[in-house]
Amino acid sequence: MSPLNTCRAAIDRINTHALQIITDEDGMSTAEYAIGTIAAAAFGAILYTVVTGDNIVSALTGIIGKALSTSVG
């Protein structure tokens, strides 16, 4: 094997190893769990506010009322 091929093979092995180290994600850290938990709680609070708001309740009531009063014929 020529010195150039040996050098290229070594560089390829180093690049492969470096890529594995960079992309290794065994799990989330405590900070990532905390941020994920806060984001989920905020999303839940926003969703609850939207769903229980007067506009949504009246819109759903109107849709249900219209569906029940429609005649099929």
Domain of residue 27 covers: 3-69
Six-digit token string for 67? 């569906």
| Residue linked to tokens 């093979």 | 9
pTM here is: 0.42
pLDDT of residue 2: 75
pLDDT of residue 41: 94
Question: Comparing 3 with 36, which gets the higher pLDDT?
Answer: 36
pLDDT of residue 4: 74
pLDDT at residue 27 greater than cutoff 70 = no
Q: How far apart are CA 29 and CA 19, in angstroms?
A: 20
Q: How many domains does the chain have?
A: 1
pLDDT of residue 1: 63
